[in-house]
Structure 1
Amino acid sequence: MRPHFFARLGAGCLAAALALGATAAGAQQHGIAMYGEPALPPGFVSLPYANPDAPIGGSLATAEVGSFDSLNPYIRKGNVPWQLTYLVSESLMGRTLDEPFTLYGLLAESVETAEDRSWVEFTLRPESEFSDGTPVTVEDVIWSYETLGTQGHPRYASFWSQIESIEATGERSVRITFNTENRELALIAGMRPILQKAQWEGVDFAESDGQVVPITSGPYVVSDYEYGRYVELTRNPDYWGWDVPFRVGTMNLDTIRMDFFGDETAAFEAFKSGETDFTREFNYARWSQQYDFPRAENGEVVKEVLPHGRPSGMTGFVMNTRRAPFDDWRVRDAMMHVFNFEFINDAMTGGEQPRITSYFSNSPLGMTDGPAEGRVREFLERYDDLPEGALEGYALPVSDGSERNRAGIATALERFEEAGWTVQDGRLTNEAGEPMELEILLEQGSTENQSIIDMYVQSLERVGIFPQITLVDSAQYKERTDAYDFDMTYYRRALSLSPGNEQYLYFGSDLADEPGGRNLMGVKSEAIDGLIDTLLTSTSQDDFLAAAQALDRVLTAGRFVIPTYQWNVSWIAYDANLHHPETIPIFGDWPGWQPDVWWYEE
């Protein structure tokens, strides 16, 4: 099975998708694309990867590892089930998974922009309403943008800072004018959640109890929950938007339940026994060896491998550059040589999982081998703070696969010595005779990460480093990572075929020290900031691709994260009564696909 996007566009899909153009300026449109025109025409029936004839009813239960203590995903406080915001809240526009970055009307029936996208205007659907039956108004929209931007989770602050004004232009229309040149802002504006202003009157939004469930306009409402154990969502039969083309054929299940377990083993056992209906597998050894339980053998469980066309993103272990010794790139480089990926991969997956080679690998946005050339080199040469290898070419260390990794250890010791660290009496020490002390922070229940780190620690001990491994529960883990209170920890950033403003959150200098931010490595780089700017202001396909490839080079050569496996396919298993359309979108198994377009049928 191939993603529908590739089947439709073939080998030239990305070039066609990135052909730059703009939705007609000054005209109301049913959708808006970052590059080119929306693929679906006005009046389309449904998204191409949805089934408009899907039956309604049934349930789905998933097994989640970890815990939660809040049902408000819009504030900084609390640990929230990650799926919640995708299933209960709505925005003015909805993002299709079948195009790199295109939005179609959801709460808004139309969108209009300036030719240079210096402003965007949305017109609300007259029938749109919250789950309590009250209408969604322009006042709710304006309040939501300002409140989220000034009092909400830090991820909303950057967008708000780029708004010059937001004002009603009619009973159902609102215009947002921007104060910076950034073509993506018109699309980002369409993706902000809309909350009900009346619910929060007289309440300090930022300091509100995270256990207050926000009133939203989405097709599901929270119907039952017990903190730390489960949360259940019920389909709202009176949902206002069942006939909106973006919604047709989606949200078909009556009940969605997320059950939480202390570790991966307990979660897998719940799936094996039928207590839960769906699982995503990230452990190749388990996928290949442990799916022989009775429900799988008698056909009650379906195993499926799904392709996707999105970049690999970055998964691995991040080093906090806010702290010594990781503020020295040579130490980070040495740590990467000590990490014996080939041996670890063989132990964990039988060598079956390819390694992530860069942030945008598995896509045309990824850096090429060897020295930078052409427009990529031109972009890079603008900056004086490039990491070693960004221009010349950089590739991850590769070991011989043996446990001792002699060549990697030798190179690591050389790098440590260049940075002022040598082995004295079996310990790696600095010139003052102080041993290197590191803490690796992990969340309880992440058994695979613990296994990887256990093998890494054995390698670190060979160079005289004896790190402290700290396991904490999910609430403590969030509190500590929000405060950047770690030396090294697990890291995962999913990246899209249309990288944009979120890159500032992940890698930008301005928010590097903002509590609760996404820049876990703490990088502050003129080159990274500048290349993100170029990415967002490119007016040609060549410049966009070159900026992405240049950014990929700087991030990868910065040696901030020790990469592990690529996930260029998704391994899923589910109850045989659950079904999804044959057409798979370009993004594959991604938020917006499961459970959104699935249905239940015995």
Structure 2
Amino acid sequence: MYGDPALPPDFVSLPYANPEAPKGGRVVFGNTGGFDSLNPFIQKGSVPWQLRFWSFEGLMGRSWDEPFSLYGLLAESVETAPDRSWVEFTLRDEARFSDGTPVTVEDVIWSYEILGTKGHLRYRGLWSKIASIKQTGPRSVRIAFSEADRELALIAGMRPILKKAQWEGRDFANSALQDIPIGTGPYIVTDFEAGRFVTLRRNPDYWGADIPFRRGTMNFDELRIEFYGDETVLFEAFKAGELSVKREFNAEKWETQYNFPAVRRGDIVKTEIPHGKPSGMTGFVMNTRKAPFDDWRVREALLLAFNFEYINDTVTGGAQSRITSYFSGSELAMQPGPANGKVRELLEPYADDLLPGALDGYSLPEGDGSARNRRNLRKAAALLEEAGWSVKGGALTNAEGDPFAFSILIRQGDTDMQTVIEIYARALERLGISAVAEKVDNAQYAGRIAELDFDMTPFRRALSLSPGNEQRLYWGSQGADVPGTRNLMGMSSPAADAMIDAMLAAETREDFIAATRALDRVLTSGRYVIPIWNFDVGRIAHVKEMKFPEHIPIYGDGPQYMPDVWWYED
């Protein structure tokens, strides 16, 4: 995107992969809930989240050691116009689907169209920006774009390629559980039982085993996912040796509960993986399509009532710092105090639409660390009164006499969030607000979220060092009210839309950083999410036979780090 890729044209392997890594071994993962689909590219159904990372590939692949750089995968070469108004890919002659048939330009064109029209919402934005897509040679395809957006060439390179012939005469968008898309990736689903397990085996005839991008990756012979009713049962299964590996997101639990016999014997190893990513946003998102969450004063009051310091000490032992903005912990984060320079220039035309703090500076409320949090609750009560809410008979009501009551939708078995909600609900009671946890199974949860049927719910958006078009999916006004939208808060902000436009149009790194910092201000001062703790390091507990390279990518741990570059060694 900016400058040249870090690796030369003749690179041997990705810098965080071990090209000499041995092949072999079996790794068992654990998921909570269940699944009713094995097609990760459609809106319908609940799919094991790992599937699209292990079995499917795009024309190009990301290096997780640098932002905004792609390298050849299915494509052997890429060419773009100076203004990036088009991109042309040439397929590798050896590129194959897992059934051994060649990947053709016809498959590529069909994949873009089917994903763009019938696929999951995450794939549809690109299709609306494609002016034309056509074959230009035996193995070449050119995609022309209908609008100026420098990132589109990169996004096009990462779209998964599926086999057209598999779906002739079949309904892609409503595929059944047994209709598993044929991909080009290293792993194939070889066995499954609905809701219980999925087994994938490394394809011995995988076409890309020796290309530089894949050398030293995808080393395990078998990957199996076992499903459990909740996190507690899953953890007990791991302690009992039924699972090979577990990611832990609670720092206190990591310190206090990972001392079971297998750890003490050295059979289980605790590994911490640092990273340089932005914090992203983790917390509780409010549905601003509904009153009273459409009033920023109410949202600020709910933030004030959330006693983070006390909750963090109770749940994580105070070991994890708080997220302070969507891009906190990186150079893309909004800076303290008033906006200045290019950031201010970008925001000032939208001053009338911005919420307090966007231009002058905004920071999250801080509690005093005590259980009562009196000072912040007084501030919250004042804001609620200003917004038209008053206490009558111990309950907070509006002018029509309606009580302030809402539910927080969570998955069954989400024990950490249940604890947080219980503490938060007690604080809200002191304001006269009734808040309850509404626990549902995974399928119900997915359906309710897709239909935007919630008041408040746990929220996670991982953000990268190369944010781009996905920001429209997360915060853009265009799809705010569309079922299945990723814009869960329902924000519709001309300023946010404009900052995303500025990010995508930026031709220098300096302009890009300014636009991202400006967007961070709009998001954070919008008070859409109650932020909780930052995942500042990856924590992976694993059997001692699982090994990984010394070089850690800048992005740290993630779906395409473990298991991708790990290996099994007796």
Matched, 1:415 2:414: no
Deviation for aligned residue 1:324: 0.5
In structure 1, distance between residues paired with 2:214 and 2:314 = 44
Partner of 1:476: 444
CA shift for structure 1 position 601 = 0.6
What is the match of residue 457 of structure 1? 425
**Offset of residue 468 of structure 1:** 3.1
Give the partner amino acid of 2:88.
E
Q: Alignment partner for residue 442 of structure 1, among 410, 414, 422?
A: 410
CA distance in 1, matches of 2:178, 2:341: 53
Pairing 1:488–2:437 present: no
Q: Distance in 2 between matches of 1:351 and 1:134?
A: 54
Among 227, 230, 253, the residue aligned to 2:197: 230
Q: Does 1:539 align with 2:507?
A: yes
After TM superposition, the structure 1 = structure 2 runs for residues 235-250 of structure 1, keeping only pairs within 5 Å, are 235-250=202-217
Return structure 1 stretches of 4+ with deviation > 3 angstroms: none
Give me the whole-angstrom Cα distance separating, in 1, the residues matched to 2:529 and 2:147.
Answer: 31
Q: Secondary structure at the match of 2:71?
A: strand
Matched residue, 1:341: 308
What is the alpha-carbon distance in structure 2 between the residues aligned to residue 505 and residue 263 of structure 1? Answer: 29
Residue 158 of structure 1 deviates from its aligned partner by 0.8
1:281 aligns with one of 243, 248, 251: 248
**Within 5 Å, which residues of 2 pair with 1:28-177?**
34-177=1-144
2:358 to 368, 390, 393: 390
Counterpart of 2:450, as a letter, is D
- Return the match for 1:427 from 378, 381, 395: 395
The corresponding residue for 2:493 is 525
Aligned to 1:516, the other structure's residue is in SS state coil
Of 226-235 and 114-123, deviating more is: 226-235
507-516 or 329-338: which moved more?
507-516
CA shift digits 1:452-476 (9 cap, x unpaired) = 1111111111101112321000000
Structure 2 letter corresponding to 1:234: R
Give 2:188's match in structure 1, choosing from 213, 221, 233: 221
Q: How far apart are the structure 2 equivalents of 1:305 and 1:240?
A: 33
Whether the aligned pair in 1 keeps the contact of 2:2 and 2:508 (CA below 8 Å) is no
**Once the two structures are superposed, what CA deviation does each residue of 1:460-503 show, in whole Å capped at 9, x if it has no partner?**
11101112321000000000000100000010000000110000
Deviation at 1:511, TM superposition (A): 1.1
CA distances 1:68-88 after superposition (whole Å, capped 9, x unpaired): 111001111001111110000
Structure 2 counterpart of 1:557, from 515, 525, 528: 525
Task: Provide the secondary structure at the position in 1 that maps to 2:174.
Answer: coil
- Alpha-carbon shift at residue 516 of structure 1 (Å): 1.0
CA–CA distance in structure 2, aligned partners of residues 211 and 115 of structure 1? 45
**3-state SS in 2 of match to 1:438:** strand
The AA in structure 2 aligned to 1:481 is: I
8 Å CA contact 1:69, 1:211 repeated in 2: no
Deviation at 1:210, TM superposition (A): 4.4
The CA distance in 2 between the partners of 1:391 and 1:410, in whole Å, is: 26
Which amino acid in 1 is paired with 2:417?
Answer: N
Q: Deviations over 1:379-421 (max 9, x none)?
A: 0102131111100100000000111100111010011011101
CA distance in 1 between counterparts of 2:437 and 2:30 reads 26
Report the Cα distance in structure 1 between the residues aligned to 2:100 and 2:455, rounded to whole angstroms. 49
Match of 1:24 in 2: none
What corresponds to 1:6 in structure 2? none
Aligned-residue offset at 1:284: 1.9
Partner of 1:601: 569
Please, what TM-score do these two structures have when normalized by structure 2?
A: 0.99
SS at match of 1:99: coil
How large is the Cα RMSD of the aligned pairs? 0.8
Cα displacement (A) at 1:576: 0.1
Aligned residues between the structures: 569
CA distance in 1, matches of 2:316, 2:446: 29
Deviations 1:419-447 (A, max 9, x none): 10111111110011111121210011111
**CA drift at 1:591:** 2.1
Find the aligned partners of 1:36 and 1:67 in 2 and give their Cα distance: 44
Q: Please tell me the residue identity of whatever aligns with 2:431.
A: V
Q: Secondary structure at the match of 2:42?
A: coil
**Aligned equivalents of 1:272 and 1:110: distance in 2?**
47
CA distance in 1, matches of 2:408, 2:247: 26
Unaligned runs of 5+ in 2: none
Q: Deviations for 1:22-46, whole angstroms, at most 9, x for unmatched residues?
A: xxxxxxxxxxxx1211111112110
User: Which one is further off, 573-582 or 465-474?
Assistant: 465-474
Write the distance in 2 (CA, Å) between the matches of 1:347 and 1:271: 24
SS of the equivalent of 2:99 reads coil
**CA–CA separation in structure 2 for the residues paired with 1:354 and 1:113:** 42
Residue 570 (structure 1) aligns with: 538
Please list, as runs of the form range in 1=range in 2, the aligned pairs for 1:297-312 lying within 5 A after superposition. Answer: 297-312=264-279
**Structure 1 contact 72–211 (Cα < 8 Å) conserved:** no
Shift of 1:62: 1.2
Could you tell me whether the CA contact under 8 Å between 2:425 and 2:436 is conserved in 1?
no
In structure 2, what is the Cα distance between the partners aligned to 1:163 and 1:211? 32
TM-score for the superposition, normalised by structure 1: 0.94
User: 1:242 Cα deviation (Å)?
Assistant: 0.7
Quote the Cα distance in structure 1 between the aligned partners of 2:10 and 2:199.
34
Q: Conserved in 2, the CA contact under 8 Å of 1:154 and 1:516?
A: yes
Partner of 1:23: none
Shift of 1:570: 0.9
Aligned partner of 1:86: which letter?
F
Question: Which amino acid in structure 1 is aligned with residue 96 of structure 2?
Answer: E
Residue 216 of structure 2 corresponds to residue 255 of structure 1: no
Cα distance in 2 for partners of 1:512, 1:500 equals 18
Question: What displacement does 1:209 show?
Answer: 2.0
Aligned equivalent of 1:351, options 318, 335, 338: 318
The farther-off stretch of 189-198 and 221-230 is 221-230
Determine if contact 1:508/1:528 at 8 Å carries over to the other structure.
yes
CA distance in 1, matches of 2:124, 2:514: 28
Find the counterpart in structure 1 of residue 479 from structure 2. 511
Distance 2:514 2:208 in 1: 40
Supply the AA of the counterpart residue of 1:51.
N
1:498 counterpart (438, 462, 466): 466
SS at structure 1 position matched to 2:434: coil
- SS of the aligned residue for 2:345 comes to helix
Matched with 2:294 is: 327
The Cα shift of 1:203 comes to 1.1
- Does residue 268 in structure 1 map to residue 235 in structure 2? yes
